[in-house]
Amino acid sequence: MKPFKQWNAKDVIEFAKGVDKKIWMKLAGITIGVLFFLIVIVIPAWIERPLLRRHIQSMEAQIRQVNALSQKKTLWEVNEKIYSAMIQGVEERLFTTEEIEMLLGKASKLAAESRVDVLASKPVNDKTVYALPYNTKYQSNGYSFTLLGSFHDIGMLASRIETNGRLLRIQSIHMATSEKTPGKEIVELQLAAISESSQPVVVTGKPHGKK
């Protein structure tokens, strides 16, 4: 017999014809067994299982992300309720158009209750401009007062203004001793009343709180 390395196609065919059928059946069975082993065990172990593992890891990461977002959602909902209540509280304290029109009279009443005389009062141009987007929603209405009263009574009036239920705030206050009325002070007082904007605001100044 020729060495295996010297075999040609004809030699292979002659060898195959001489092989017993039982041997071919055994070879076929072995081949089927090997293929079954590859399909059922090897391929899933080397290919499908790593893919499945990565898919499971991806799903676990998504579940952790969903749980984290769920916890944040609870915090967001709590914050939303707090901020909504704060915004509602501020909006309820805004002056209405009717209240703005009567503010000089109301301020004079507060002064009278504090035993402070109003020597002069007038609306003034308030150049306060709020930052976006509040500059088109709210406006500041300025008022100037010249008052006469004792230091204690002026302090009482300032307290009444600052604790007022509406958004009425002291912008500036200047005091000087009255030469004509001993024991009393002449006060130049600037007030600001916050209300909803009655018309679009043209931004010409600097935003409130910025220098």
Q: What pLDDT is stored for residue 21 in this prediction?
A: 67
- 190 CB contacts (<8 Å, ≥6 apart)? 124, 142, 143, 144, 145, 170, 171, 172, 173
For the chain, domain boundaries? 12-92, 97-196
**Is the pTM of the predicted complex or chain greater than 0.75?**
no
pLDDT value for 204: 43
Instruction: Give the chain's length.
Output: 211
**What pLDDT is attached to residue 145?**
94
Q: Is the pLDDT of residue 121 over 60?
A: yes
Angle at the Cα of 192 from the Cα atoms of 163 and 143, rounded to 5 degrees: 115
Contacts of 50 (CB under 8 A, 6+ apart): none
Of the ranges 35-44, 88-97, 102-111, 155-164, which one carries the lowest mean pLDDT score?
Answer: 35-44
In this structure, which amino acid lies at residue 128? T
The set of residues, in sequence order, having a beta carbon less than 8 Å from that of 183 and lying 6+ positions away, is 150
Percent of the chain surpassing pLDDT 90: 21
Q: Which CATH class is domain 97-196?
A: alpha beta
Average pLDDT over residues 151-170: 89
Report the pLDDT value the prediction gives residue 119, as an integer from 0 to 100.
Answer: 94
| pLDDT for 197 | 81
Q: Is the pLDDT of residue 6 over 70?
A: no
